[in-house]
Amino acid sequence: MTRTRIYFASDLHASERCWLKFLAAPKFYEAETIIVGGDITGKFIVPVIAQPNGNWTIENFLGRSWRVSTRAELAQVKAQIADTGQYAFETTEAEHAHYEGNQARIDELFRQLALERVRRWVDMAEDKLAGTGVTCMVSGGNDDFYEVDEALAASGLIGNPDGTLLDLPGGLQIMGIGYGNPTPWNCPRDIPEPDLAARITALADTVGRPERTIFNLHVPPHGSGLDFAPRLDSELRMVMSGAGPQMIPVGSTAVRDAVQKYQPLLSLHGHIHESRGIRRIGQTTVANPGSEYGEGVLDGVLIEVDSRKGVRDIQLTSG
């Protein structure tokens, strides 16, 4: 009888602090396997505009404007920006004007900055984890550009279970799907539910022993309690009530059906940051660690799996 400990987190959204914590997780939690379940790229670029007087200005970071006068101070602020999952972009007034209002150019800039960070994260992982025996899995989620997969593939250490079945310690396997059901934002990997169902089925049908397999499907099952997000109006604004935001289930029916049908050992999800929790669907333990990447808090799930008895323990963590 052997036991293995798995640490799962998701939706780091480019938070440098969360990535560093993720790399420290094997030692802290004594985990043999660490997994990031998608959405590793960021949502904000913070222009840091060089001024003719030698200063730099930031119009909006943490809700306020900044003026930076020294290189050392600038490095500190840029690190802080990276910790909150944003990309600092040193630029000039003229270059800033070139981007402003042009979403195609901004998207291209996002692609460039996101890939730079992912490549750096891969290097950091190799420095930190090489020779430790830790198994590290990282995949893209619905928010991530497809090029992220190529950056991850360049690593000899990081495995990417997206669209495939990989072995894990303890005689386990993991399969992943980073695609998500449609969102109001039409993100890079949003696809219709039938397409998502087809992709999951095509992969799950290749699984020999579901009871020894972990599903890493980025989107949580619909109506599982792990998929409550604020209802939005047509302007993508939260709809409020006298008891806070109105919360509605936004998970995937395809994911729910797949978990019910295949009954894997574990089904690990992310995507909905505000809906962390652990549930059971039939025989399957289902978890969403949530995400507080913007605050530099690494939310996770710590799972103890016994080779014969299955999941022996599972708990949510806030690192």
Partner 1 sequence: MMDPTQPKVVGVSGVFTRASSGLVRQVSTRDTVYYGVMAITIAYMVFIVTAWPGYPGSSMELATLLVTIGGVLLGVVYSLFAAVYPRSGGEYVFLSRVVHPSVGFVVSFLQAFWYAFYFGLNGAFFAIYGLAPLFTVLGLQMHSSGLTSAGTWFASHNGIFVMGSVLVLFIGFMVYRGMRGFFRLQRWAGAFAMASVLVTIVVLILGSTGALHFASEFNAIAGSGAYAAVERAGASPGFSTLATFNFMVWPAFSILFSVNMVSFSGEVKNVRRGPLVGIVGSMVVTGVLMIVLMWLGRGAFGDRFLQAAPSSSKVPVPPFLNVFASILGHNPVLTIVMSLWIVFVIPFALGSNVIYSSRAMLAWGLDGVAPRPFANVSERRHTPVFAIVTLVVLAEIALAIFTYTTWVEILSGFLGFAIAFAVVCVAGIFFPFTHRATLERSPANIRIAGIPLMTICGVLAAPFIGFIAYRTAVDKALGANAHISLIVNGILIAVGFAWFYALRWYRTSRGENVDRRFKEIPIE
Beta strands 33-36; 135-138: pairing state = parallel
CB of 100 to partner 1, least distance (A): 8
Bridge partners for 47 per DSSP: 89
CB of 167 to partner 1, least distance (A): 26
CB of 141 to partner 1, least distance (A): 9
CB of 190 to partner 1, least distance (A): 8
CB of 196 to partner 1, least distance (A): 14
Identify which of residues 53 and 186 has a Cβ nearer to partner 1 in the complex: 186
CB of 119 to partner 1, least distance (A): 19
CA atoms within 13 A on the CB side of 69: 0
Identify which of residues 31 and 158 has a Cβ nearer to partner 1 in the complex: 31
DSSP state of 131: T
CB of 244 to partner 1, least distance (A): 4
Query: Which pair of tokens denotes residue 41?
Result: 């790229």
Identify which of residues 143 and 215 has a Cβ nearer to partner 1 in the complex: 143
Query: Which pair of tokens denotes residue 20?
Result: 């560093």
Identify which of residues 87 and 262 has a Cβ nearer to partner 1 in the complex: 87
Identify which of residues 9 and 137 has a Cβ nearer to partner 1 in the complex: 9
Ramachandran assignment for 68, one of left (phi > 0), alpha (psi -120 to 50 degrees), beta (any other) = beta
Identify which of residues 120 and 164 has a Cβ nearer to partner 1 in the complex: 120
DSSP state of 50: E
Identify which of residues 223 and 310 has a Cβ nearer to partner 1 in the complex: 223
Identify which of residues 26 and 213 has a Cβ nearer to partner 1 in the complex: 26
CA atoms within 13 A on the CB side of 273: 12
Of 306, 261, 309, the C-alpha closest to 6 is 306
Return the SS3 of 17. helix
Residues making up the chain, counted from first to last: 319
Bridge partners for 280 per DSSP: 285
Q: Starting at the edge strand that comes first in sequence, how are the strands of the sheet with 158-159 ordered?
A: 158-159, 135-138, 33-36, 3-9, 299-306, 310-318
CB of 173 to partner 1, least distance (A): 25
Return the SS3 of 65. strand
Distance between CA atoms of 273 and 306, rounded to whole angstroms?
Answer: 29
User: Is residue 42 within 8 Å of residue 17, measured between CB atoms?
Assistant: no
Give, rounded to a whole angstrom, the gap between the first and last alpha carbons of the chain. 30
